Homo-oligomer: A and B are copies of this chain.
């Protein structure tokens, strides 16, 4: 089938899985690392830096935006993408909470 049966799971479980999923592609990991390494949050240098087509990068950026990890603002004719630190921290906390509570009862 190829369709995930999300209705079987809690909203929390689906959200958590969604975060993990969005982070689960090396291009998106690389994009986040690159954005953070530039003190300024300059943008589609990403196309050159990463080496995927512009359309592809744009798609990956869209997915990162979809979970609120990136803010984008118009900068002349370019877009300036920037990590949303507050959201970043929230997601990190949620993932850690998952890791900590899940590990604790194990044999």
A6 interface hit (Cβ, 8 Å): yes
Beta-carbon contact of A9 and B36 below 8 Å:
no
Query: A interface, by DSSP: helix, strand, loop or mixed?
Result: helix
Beta-carbon contact of B17 and A26 below 8 Å:
yes
Number of copies: 2
Question: Which residues of B are found within 8 Å of A22, using beta-carbon distances?
Answer: 24
- What is the size category of the interface that chain A forms with chain B? 35 or more
Question: Which residues of B are found within 8 Å of A46, using beta-carbon distances?
Answer: none
A107 interface hit (Cβ, 8 Å): yes
Beta-carbon contact of A41 and B106 below 8 Å:
yes
Q: Contacts A83-B103, A103-B83, A106-B83 known; A17 to B9 CB distance under 8 Å?
A: no
Beta-carbon contact of A106 and B92 below 8 Å:
no
Set B5, B19, B33, B106: member contacting A85, Cβ < 8 A? B106
Contacts from A to B (Cβ < 8 Å): 4-6, 8-9, 13-14, 16-30, 32-33, 35-41, 50-52, 82-83, 85, 88-89, 92, 95-96, 98-99, 101-107
